[in-house]
Amino acid sequence: MSEEEKNVEEVEKKEEVVQETEEKPAEEEKPAEEKPAEEEKPAEEEKPKEEQQAPQEEEKPAEVESQKEEVKLVEEKKEQKKVNKAPTKRRPSLYEGFEENQQLFRPEFRFQNTDKSKEKIYELMDAYLPRDKLSIQKSIVQHIEYTLASTRFDINEGYIFQGTALSVRDRLLEQWNDTQLFIKMKNPKKIYYMSIEFLLGRLLQNALVNLKLEKCYTDALMDFGVKIEDIYDKENDPALGNGGLGRLAACYIDSMATLNLPAWGYGLRYDYGIFKQVIENFEQKELPDYWLTKGNPWEIMRLDTQFKVRFYGTVKEEYRNGKQCKVWKGGEEVQAVAYDTAVPGFNTFNCNTLRLWRAFPAEEFSFDDFNKGDYQKALRSRDQASYITSVLYPNDNTLSGKELRLKQEYFFSSATVQNVLRRWSRLNLPWKDFPKYNCIQLNDTHPTIALVELLRILIDDYQLDYKDAFDIVRRTFNYTNHTVLPEALEKWGVDIFERLLPRHLELIYLINYFFLEEVKKRYPGNGDKMMKLSIIEESMPKQIRMANLCIISSTKVNGVAAIHSGLLKTMLFKDFYEMWPEKFTNVTNGVTPRRWIHCAFPELSALLTEYNEGRDDWLSELDLLEEIPKKLDETNKWPEFIEKYKVAKSAAKKRLVEFVKKNCNIDIDESFMFDVMVKRIHEYKRQFMNCLYCIYRYNKIKSMSPEERKNVTKRVTFFGGKAAPGYALAKNVIKLINIVANVVNHDNDVSPYFKMIFLPDYKVSSAQIIIPAANINHQISTAGMEASGTSCMKFVMTGSLIIGTRDGANIEIAEKIGEDHLFYFGKNVNEVTQIRNELANGKRNYVGSRLQECFNAILNNKFGNTNFMHDYVKTLIDGGDYYLTCHDFYAYMEAQEKIDQEYKDQDKWIKKCVEAICRMGFFSSDRSIETYAKEIWHVDECEVPKPALTKDARSVSSSNLKSLGDE
């Protein structure tokens, strides 16, 4: 057993002991003085020398490339072992044993101060709302009339959506309230998932599926003469995220609820989500996405949960309780108000909370100014406060560096930390136990300032010593890194901090001081180490490196795929890894099969359920699908399955055909191979390389005789994705794609065999239509640059094969489904470094004639005016091939040709797709979250008891607590 595995085991054993204690109600608990120290050995002091050395010996720093490859393999194997240990459990279906029209009683909660005079109220709220068709219908129309004030003659699909959503929310609320009560009573360790983005997508279908109410609602709406799909379509996408990072957070809260974890998602409630993209004259135009036009039926504004957040001001020294301390005063204050959305788990009565903060002015407006007649001035501060949560910064994998963005980050962090502390303070437990009950996961560095905020409150408000306070912080926080791109790593000028958050800056210096003392001890006289590891970058102006602050101040740091976590250790955070190897770990990303298979591709979901003995439990235990191909082999039922699969895939493709007609007014044929590349536009993702291949394909078909063309595999290449408004090159790539597509699609020789479509405004709801329709999907980032990628998982789960590089999650997908189930090409991460070195040393002449021909088409404006790409093309040719567009092009072409050949044998192709789908169990976000829960958070599930058929059969939870208070 390796050292790391031993450590994991040890920690697990200790955790078991700790968790047992935590199960007891708060008051009974004996504060376990002995435990905390053991629980999370501060790595710095306690690791024996040999242990610290061992990993380095295995992994000798990056110079020797082949050894790095080995490191990664070791990492991947370790990961596999860990996760294979995860037990699978078959839960019965949610309402199993209950009839649709039976009254179901809610669990009973007894408090020390249960108020007898309220018996009547308790009794009235004893049972869950009924789930039969008529009751559902009544509840929808009641909301339409009594909540929305519509007359029965004005009812349209918009109202029906709202009424339906509100009636579903009622049902969610019961489970939500019960879950929150139950968690309060049990008082387990809680997990707080902080993410500045949550790209939720539409919520109605997801809620119905998780509650197992989709069938009831479908029937209920049928009587109103509407199809439920049309009602789903009425919902605006809450698009409070840019791309993979925000969508990951959304998948993760779904899985946390499904796994019954006592977890909260925390984020910001932006008035404007990611901009709406329209294409005009081939170019991207950005329009504001005011997603709240019709209100938001899901959210609940919590007027009882508000916190003040300060900016600017000064730091003063004061005496409090005879102790000298620092006080941050003055400046401006804004009010953070909580907006909650219920997050139901799949097939469980647990329902968690996503809490998003909205900024309001702390004081309504200045009466002074108002009385003097200066109305505008009076209102200005009001407006300024609300600007904080007006708009999501539309950058994916780049830093915006604006003061307002830092304000958003602090606003979000401060409100969340205050809320966590309020919940904690009701328990009356000693501070040193705080990390035993609370765990905060930072989804990238955006909420880093939260850890400084906690430190500030502990030191300044509660007068803890720095050492104790910092120890609490470090044991509470963990950090997930999502990128190795230098342009995305957050750094903030010391000057901005000094103005906006003066006290936090002092504390960051203090953290850095103590940390650098440790570095000095470990590496005496090594100025280079100090410089690299320091939180402060000694540039002009000085910068605060948020990632360094995170690593120093948290317990675990993880990457999001095996290769990425390997690169964090060997490259990006090499020096930290050398100091604290046990801090670094990997949790490969995952996606929720509820949204991405069941909701997005219902026909496939039904087929999988049919072949899983008629059970849909695979939706929360995705590994169960592995049995399907085995059984098809044994029973010789592949032909039968393949025929049914074709019918299902055809339905998905028809949806996309319709979507394209509606949104692009182009007719496409379902019988074509659908080749899809949808993601944010970025150089490292290499949409441009795909576009070059389209040019090549166009030229090739154009030059064929009609007879030769008959052999061509017919294909539509789809692109979709937004470019950050300030990212000129990315916008130019969109323009190029549209210009080329326009020629291709209007060419009568070529378009019967090949078409190109740019799908505008790619978002979660359109992803649910686009992804299941694909036969091939593009994951072609330069190796080493895509931390994970998650759409690759959704594509494979819905039956399309990857054309991709050895990068991100592609690598692990290939391991799980088999390398012959995807089309790998291109240089691996070590070769990329080598080629970049050669380029730096003057390597040229790497373009080759076929690629040159494609470049010429651009340089000669063959498709129209493409001047805007000329400089870029010239740079590529002239040694600027940083992303290896040219160096990977020929391998890419070969892979494309292989696809064309293999696609001709449809049955063989489909068999591969199905085998791949069924081997994707590892990529369920449930597995990711189980790994976080076990190995990073050390939290246990806290499952709400099932309902009962009679009052007496109800499960009772009692608590010594007098009052539970607000959330």
Q: Residue 111 Cβ, how far from ligand NBG at the closest point, in Å?
A: 42
Nearest alpha carbon to residue 343 among 331, 356, 334, 330: 356
Q: Is 250 in the site for ligand NBG (CB under 6 A)?
A: no
How many C-beta atoms lie closer than 10 Å to residue 64's C-beta? Answer: 12
Task: Give the 3-state DSSP-derived string for 327-349, with helices as H, strands as E and coil as C.
Answer: EEECCEEEEEEEEEEEEECCCCC
Q: Is 680 a catalytic residue?
A: yes
Contact 589, 790 (CB under 8 A): yes
Contact 712, 754 (CB under 8 A): yes
Residue whose CB is less far from ligand NBG, 137 or 791: 791
Q: Is 780 in the site for ligand NBG (CB under 6 A)?
A: no
- Alpha carbon separation from 713 to 145, 637, 697 (Å, rounded): 55, 28, 11
Amino acid (one-letter) located at 712:
V
Q: Is 397 in the site for ligand NBG (CB under 6 A)?
A: yes
Per-residue x/- track, 641-670, ligand NBG (CB under 6 A): ------------------------------
Q: Is 395 in the site for ligand NBG (CB under 6 A)?
A: no
Contacts with 178 (C-beta within 8 Å, 6 or more apart), sequence order: 106, 107, 349, 351, 944
Per-residue x/- track, 665-684, ligand NBG (CB under 6 A): --------------------
Selected from 352, 687, 766, 788, the binder of ligand NBG by CB under 6 A is 788
How far apart (Å, rounded) are the C-alpha atoms in residues 417 and 782?
A: 38
H or E element, residue 437: helix 434-437
SS3 at position 710: coil
Residue whose CB is less far from ligand NBG, 594 or 682: 682
Nearest alpha carbon to residue 701 among 743, 668, 759: 743
DSSP 178-226: HHHHHHHHH---EEEEE-S-EE----HHHHHHHHT-HHHHHHHHHTTT-
Stretch that binds ligand NBG, among 19-27, 360-368, 639-647, 781-789 (CB under 6 A): 781-789
Residue whose CB is less far from ligand NBG, 563 or 801: 563
Residue whose CB is less far from ligand NBG, 787 or 854: 787
Residue whose CB is less far from ligand NBG, 273 or 344: 273
Q: Is 248 in the site for ligand NBG (CB under 6 A)?
A: yes
How far apart (Å, rounded) are the C-alpha atoms in residues 790 and 480?
A: 15
How many C-beta atoms lie closer than 10 Å to residue 519's C-beta? Answer: 19
Q: Residue 487 Cβ, how far from ligand NBG at the closest point, in Å?
A: 10
Q: Is 737 in the site for ligand NBG (CB under 6 A)?
A: no
Stretch that binds ligand NBG, among 230-238, 323-331, 607-615, 784-792 (CB under 6 A): 784-792
Q: Residue 439 Cβ, how far from ligand NBG at the closest point, in Å?
A: 19
Per the residue annotation, which of 790, 798, 866, 931 is the catalytic one? 790
Selected from 130, 241, 244, 784, the binder of ligand NBG by CB under 6 A is 244
Stretch that binds ligand NBG, among 308-316, 385-393, 528-536, 783-791 (CB under 6 A): 783-791
How far apart (Å, rounded) are the C-alpha atoms in residues 337 and 389?
A: 11
How many C-beta atoms lie closer than 10 Å to residue 215's C-beta? Answer: 12
Per-residue x/- track, 570-599, ligand NBG (CB under 6 A): -------------------x----------
How many C-beta atoms lie closer than 10 Å to residue 878's C-beta? Answer: 11
Stretch that binds ligand NBG, among 244-252, 566-574, 856-864, 953-961 (CB under 6 A): 244-252
Q: What is the CA radius of gyration of the chain?
A: 29
Q: Residue 780 Cβ, how far from ligand NBG at the closest point, in Å?
A: 13
Stretch that binds ligand NBG, among 241-249, 263-271, 282-290, 351-359 (CB under 6 A): 241-249
Q: Residue 785 Cβ, how far from ligand NBG at the closest point, in Å?
A: 8
Per the residue annotation, which of 436, 456, 680, 778 is the catalytic one? 680
Contacts with 227 (C-beta within 8 Å, 6 or more apart), sequence order: 221
Q: Is 685 a catalytic residue?
A: yes
Residue whose CB is less far from ligand NBG, 252 or 311: 252
Is 76 buried (19+), middle (13-18) or exposed (0-12) by CB count in 10 A?
buried
Contact 199, 595 (CB under 8 A): no
SS3 at position 385: helix
Per-residue x/- track, 37-56, ligand NBG (CB under 6 A): --------------------
Q: Residue 394 Cβ, how far from ligand NBG at the closest point, in Å?
A: 12
Within residues 522-581, the interface with ligand NBG by CB under 6 A covers 560
Selected from 476, 790, 925, 928, the binder of ligand NBG by CB under 6 A is 790
Residue whose CB is less far from ligand NBG, 181 or 562: 562
Q: Residue 290 Cβ, how far from ligand NBG at the closest point, in Å?
A: 24
Within residues 458-517, the interface with ligand NBG by CB under 6 A covers 482-483, 488
Amino acid (one-letter) located at 423:
R
Residue whose CB is less far from ligand NBG, 680 or 735: 680
Q: Is 143 a catalytic residue?
A: no
Residue whose CB is less far from ligand NBG, 231 or 245: 245
DSSP 70-128: HHHHHHHHHHHHHHHTPPP--PPPTTTT--TT---BPPEEEETT--GGGHHHHHHTSBP
Q: Which structure tokens are listed for 922?
A: 């590892």
Selected from 79, 396, 409, 930, the binder of ligand NBG by CB under 6 A is 396
Within residues 427-466, the interface with ligand NBG by CB under 6 A covers 444
Residue whose CB is less far from ligand NBG, 589 or 612: 589
Q: Residue 248 Cβ, how far from ligand NBG at the closest point, in Å?
A: 4
Per the residue annotation, which of 82, 171, 358, 482 is the catalytic one? 482
Q: Would you state the torsion angle of the CA atoms of residues 302, 306, 312, 317, taken in this order, to the nearest 10 degrees?
A: -160
Q: Residue 567 Cβ, how far from ligand NBG at the closest point, in Å?
A: 12
Stretch that binds ligand NBG, among 79-87, 760-768, 782-790, 955-963 (CB under 6 A): 782-790
Q: What are phi and psi of 361, to 5 degrees?
A: -65, 145
Contact 28, 11 (CB under 8 A): no
How many C-beta atoms lie closer than 10 Å to residue 383's C-beta? Answer: 12
Residue whose CB is less far from ligand NBG, 245 or 652: 245
Q: Residue 230 Cβ, how far from ligand NBG at the closest point, in Å?
A: 32
Q: Is 254 in the site for ligand NBG (CB under 6 A)?
A: no
How far apart (Å, rounded) are the C-alpha atoms in residues 132 and 391?
A: 41
Q: Is 245 in the site for ligand NBG (CB under 6 A)?
A: yes
Cis peptide before 541 (omega within 30 of 0): yes
Residue whose CB is less far from ligand NBG, 642 or 689: 689
- Alpha carbon separation from 119 to 114, 115, 116, 375, 962 (Å, rounded): 9, 7, 5, 52, 17
Selected from 505, 773, 787, 869, the binder of ligand NBG by CB under 6 A is 787
Q: Is 482 a catalytic residue?
A: yes
How far apart (Å, rounded) are the C-alpha atoms in residues 639 and 367?
A: 78
Q: What are phi and psi of 759, to 5 degrees?
A: -85, 115
Q: Which structure tokens are listed for 373?
A: 């007649």
Size, binding site for ligand NBG by CB under 6 A? 18
Give me the residue whose beta carbon is nearest to ligand NBG.
244
Per the residue annotation, which of 143, 184, 583, 794 is the catalytic one? 794
Q: Which residues are catalytic?
A: 482, 679-680, 685, 790, 794
Using CB under 6 A, list all residues that contact ligand NBG.
Answer: 243-245, 248, 396-397, 444, 482-483, 488, 560, 589, 786-790, 808
